[in-house]
Amino acid sequence: MDIGLSSACFYPLETEKSIVRAGETGVKTIEIFMNADSEFEPAFVKNMADICNYYGMKVSSVHTMGSFTESYHLFSSYKRRFFEAKDTSFKRHFDVMHTLGAKHLVLHGIKKPGSIPDEEYFDRFGELTLMGKAEGLLVCQENVVHYRSENPDFLASMGEYIGDDFNMVFDIKQSIRTGLNPYEFAEKLHKYIRHIHISDHNDEFDCIVPCKNGVFDFKKFFDLMKSLGYTGDFIVELYENGFEKDKELTFAIEKLKKLL
C-alpha cells in the first residue's frame, strides 16, 4: 500500500517526460497513461522501464490509450470490432504491463447511452477480464462520469454478473462529478475495488491537489478503506490545471503518507 502519482497529471507532456517529472517529485509508485501507438514499441517500453528503475518507482497500473474510444472499438453493436480489438490493440497493453511490472489495467468502458445492453457489455468485459487473469493481470472498470460506470447500481450489477473476477478502479473526482458521496460509493462497492485514484475538491473546483485548499477527509477515507480490507495503492490523479508547481505534488504525497 502506497501513495502514488499518475503520469496523467502532466498531460499533454509526452509520456516518457511525464514519468521523469513524476520521478523528480520523489514518488515511489506510479500509474502510466499510454497516449500513442509508438509508445507500445518494445524499445519505448524498455525506456519507460529504465526511467522507473532509475527513480526507484514501482509501476502499479497502466491506463489504456483508447479510453475515449473504447465504446467504439470494444463495446459497440458492431461485434467484429470487438473481436479484432481485443486481440490486437487491447492485448498489447498486457505486453507493456509485463515489461513494466504493472498489475492493474484501467478501462473507462462504455459511454452513456451506448449501443449494447448491459448484459452484453458485462459478457464482453468479463471476456477481457479472463484474458488478463490468464496472464496474471487485473483488468479493471473505472467509475467515470457520463459513462454507464458512473452509476454504483450499474457497477454492483456488473459485479454480481461477472462474479469474483470483477475488478474496479475507484476514482474520487469522478464520483464528485457525478454528484455522489465518495465514501458511500466506495463502501457500497469495496469488495470489487483493487485500485484507487485520489484527488481533492472544494466548492469551486472538483479536482485539485490534495491537502491544500480542498475539503476531502483523506484520513477518514484511508481508515474506511483499510477497515474494509483494501490493501492496494492510492494514486494521485489530477489534470494539468489541478496544481501550479510540482512541489505541491511532493508536499501532498508526503502529507498523505502520514495520514495513511
pLDDT for the residue 240: 87
Residue 50 has pLDDT above 90, yes or no: yes
Reported as a pLDDT band with limits 50, 70 and 90, residue 207 is very high
Give the residue-averaged pLDDT of 199-207.
Answer: 96
Q: Which residues of 160-197 are buried (b: 16+ CB within 10 A; e: fewer)?
A: eebeeebbbbbbbbbbbbbebebbebbeebbebbbbbb
pLDDT for the residue 27: 97
In contact, 8 and 241? CB cutoff 8 Å: no
% of the chain at pLDDT higher than 70: 100
Residue 66 has pLDDT above 90, yes or no: no
Question: pTM (2 decimals)?
Answer: 0.97
| Least confident window among 61-70, 102-111, 125-134, 190-199 | 61-70
Q: Does domain 3-259 have CATH number 1.20.140.10?
A: no
Reported as a pLDDT band with limits 50, 70 and 90, residue 151 is very high
Task: Indicate the domain borders of the chain.
Answer: 3-259
Give the residue-averaged pLDDT of 29-57.
Answer: 98
